[in-house]
Amino acid sequence: MLKSLIFVILEIMQSIKGNSSILYIRHNSLWFPISCEISNAMSEEAETISTTTRDNQGWSTDLVTNQSYSISLECVMTDDRPSNALSYWKLRDKKRNRELVEWKRKYLYNDVEETGFAIITSISDSASSEEYITFSMTLKGFGKPNEITNHSGGDVDYPDANITIGGQSDKNFVFVQNTSSTVWEITHNLYKFPSVTVVDQLGNIIYGEIQYIDLNSIRITFSSASIGKVYLN
């Protein structure tokens, strides 16, 4: 009963699923989503100094001094040798080269973007037998993040659209698989090796073996028959 009530409340309040938040990194002057991102999280902190006096009647008071933020994410490792992919190896190089990276966190449900600069402070991979290799990464903010709001007046359901940043157009494509199958053949006509995120009919991220046939088509093979959507960027 309680679970059903919580579900109804979430539906009424238009709760937001995690796959509505995508982290991008600027690479070679273009914005790239990190391939097969599982999750991302941003946290902010503030340092304070105590200003408690006898006039505060024993209650603690503080003054905010420095503020900081960090971004962490989990991803499935992919081959990022194609020029239009960004994954573990290129990100590790940015960390080793002490590169100051520009990031963008886009919320697809209301067209809000946060942007800023950061340094990659840690990156690590995890490889288990017969499992996909995953990696985690942490970025430490450099300066204050900025927020850009461009409300469209309605819900956004991952539209097939071009995202234009600084005069550069980054094409996207959404594929819908309505028939349950273990092999999905996708022709996206983006003329690149796109990053790929797959979700099932409930919006949960699922994983399959991705094969790039050419610059305009891919094949995804699953261990069991599935239906859902594929977001290509």
pLDDT, tens only, 40-93: 899 999 999 888 777 777 788 888 889 999 999 999 998 877 666 789 999 999
Residue 211 lies in a domain: yes
Tokens of 108: 């697809």
Q: CA 162 to CA 183: how far, in whole Å?
A: 27
Q: CA 15 to CA 116: how far, in whole Å?
A: 26
- Does residue 33 sit in the same domain as residue 123? yes
Residue 102 lies in a domain: yes
- Does residue 89 sit in the same domain as residue 201? no
- Least reliable range by pLDDT among 69-78, 124-133, 165-174, 219-228: 165-174
- Does residue 142 sit in the same domain as residue 189? no
- DSSP H/E element including 2: helix 2-12
- Does residue 124 sit in the same domain as residue 27? yes
pLDDT, tens only, 167-216: 444 578 889 998 899 999 999 988 787 888 898 888 788 888 888 888 88
Q: Does 162 or 139 have the greater pLDDT score?
A: 139
AA letter at 184: W
Torsion of the alpha carbons at 184, 132, 233 and 181, rounded to the nearest 10: 10
Residue 8 lies in a domain: no
Q: Does 151 or 118 have the greater pLDDT score?
A: 118
Q: Has residue 121 got a pLDDT over 90?
A: yes
For 108, the domain range is 17-50+61-152
CB 136 within 8 A of CB 121: no
pTM of the model: 0.58
